[in-house]
Amino acid sequence: MDTFTLAATSFTIALSLLITGKTDQLQRSFAAFCAAVFVSQAGIFLSGIFWPVFWKYVEFIGLLAAAPLAVWFFLHLTRSRSYLTRGSVVLTALISMAGIFVLFSPLTEWEYFSAALLAYTYSVLVVCYAALLRHVRRLPPSSDKRRLRYLIIACPVAFLICGLDVLGYLGFSFPPISGLILAALLYLILLIIAYPQLSELHDFFARAFVIFISTVTGVFIFYVTAFFFSDSLPPLPSVIMASFLIVISVTPVKMILKKIFSFFYPESKDVFTSLYEFDEKLEREKAVLLAEMAPVFAHEIRNPLGSIKGAAQYLKSEAVTEEHHKLFDVIIEEVNRLNSVVTQFLDYARPFQMKRTRQNINEIARKAVSIITANSMAKDITMVKEFHENLPEVDVDGQQMLQVLLNIALNAIEAMPGGGTLTVRTSAIQNDTGTTVGITIRDTGGGIPPDTLKNVFKPFFTTKERGVGLGLAICQRIVREHAGVIRVKSIPGQGSVFFIRLNAAEK
């Protein structure tokens, strides 16, 4: 069973990477390695059913192909910065071709050849692991290094757990689990190379937990259905394996069907759109409608506001008592506030017209800090600047990005009415997709409650008495227009921190 699981998992991973159409060499090399694992494991599984000699050849060919493909994959994983070179790929490929030649020679002894082949394949994998270990040690602290560390820890752990299979050969009643463990290891590698945004350990655990819950749910549904409509129930391990394979196969199968339907039925674009995605599509349509309606809405409101303000200013000049002056001041102040609300509404609703130029984020951050320092609200605030010196440039609209930093920083200052520390930090983050420029704004205020935290970027959501609730929504939209990411973490009583990530400009 564990052999079938490993074969099916490796096939699913290879297929999912190949049908995405990406030209990333790292993912393509891993797909090729998984394909070799699939061939080898399929040979082992099918040799016990029919044509044992033929499938034995298939098993050995898969193992021989896995060695150079593993070197090719680790060459890209270490970005050609280890002792692995293209010559290493060529050398292992020649050795594997020689192995295939020996395999088909009449002098081959199956038992000795199998032992030599396993020793060769595992030796190559150990060399690749040592190259990865050396590469990670030389990396500067980054999210990329952190993710590769997880792989460095996972590989020996998986090897030790696979060693438990020896208990079965020693006469103990212990089922083989090496295939299941190696399948999990391959899936972890897939997450590391295909999802660079997963950088924290809890991100990987969360992903694994979703798969676990989906698998358990599938098992539960199967047994509930089988209980009512079947006289006998299959063993639990078989059902778990089938449910797990279905869970990880849904996405690649859906992608294949989508390509097929788009070829034969190009007009059926919403066939694979779920009801929840229809809701998202409806939200996008609402946003377009809002962008068209906003200018008309603003014009119809600003005209009477201008008349009200003009009339109030005239009447104020004719007022004879102090009480009347105060009443007209209130009218003018409220008109100005309503006009500001309309302006923010327009800023959020209308499409952005960005003027991107290649800039250093440090310059924008320094300008924001100087404006904040000059603000009277920041008189009791301690400003801390931590700017990365060799920061790569980014293609941004400087004024809009300045607006984002100022909006977040002023919100942070308002969260520290009794004073505190405001830290603005920039950093360069290396990952598989290139370099990302990070901006972090941290305060030591009262923090944001969990029930409020999940809504801070929603339009018109505010906890302020006279707030509109569009400031952070506009910030999020500006960052997304720059193909960036913005998120927030907060601990009540300790403060909040906003993270902004922007892709570095291509050289």
Domain ranges of the chain: 2-199, 200-272, 275-349, 357-503
pLDDT in tens, 237-278: 778 878 877 887 777 777 777 777 776 766 655 555 554 444
Q: Specify the CATH superfamily of domain 2-199.
A: Rhodopsin 7-helix transmembrane proteins (1.20.1070.10)
What would the pLDDT profile of 296-329 be if each residue is shown by its tens digit?
Answer: 666 677 778 888 888 888 888 877 788 888 888 8
Lowest-pLDDT range of 41-55, 125-139, 214-228, 271-285: 271-285
Q: Per-residue confidence at 421, pLDDT binned at 50, 70, 90?
A: very high
* Topology adopted by domain 275-349: Helix Hairpins (1.10.287)
Average pLDDT over residues 4-11: 86
CA distances in angstroms from 372 to 25, 216, 385, 458, 500, listed in the order given: 45, 52, 12, 25, 19
The per-residue pLDDT for 450 is 84
Min mean pLDDT across 32-41, 193-202, 331-340 is at 193-202
Rg (C-alpha) for the chain, rounded Å, is 31
Mean pLDDT across 53-82: 88
- Under a CB-based contact definition with an 8 Å cutoff, are residues 486 and 473 in contact? no
The CATH class of the 357-503 domain is alpha beta
The four Cα atoms 456, 462, 464, 466 give a dihedral, to 10 degrees, of 140
What is the value of pTM for the model shown?
0.55
Q: 506 pLDDT band (50/70/90 cuts)?
A: low
Q: What is the pLDDT of residues 361-382, one digit of tens each?
A: 999 999 999 988 888 888 888 9
Residue 84 vs residue 283, higher pLDDT: 84
501 strand-pairing partners: 438, 485
In which order are the strands placed within the sheet that holds 485-491? 381-386, 420-431, 434-443, 495-503, 485-491
Question: Among 285-289, 353-357, 370-374, 466-470, which is the least confidently predicted range?
Answer: 285-289
How does the average pLDDT of the chain come out, rounded?
A: 81
* Cα–Cα nearest to 122, from 66, 202, 165, 176: 66
Q: Is 420 left (phi over 0), alpha (psi -120 to 50) or beta?
A: left
Residue pointed to by tokens 């205020």 = 445
Residue 327 · residue 312 · CB < 8 Å: no
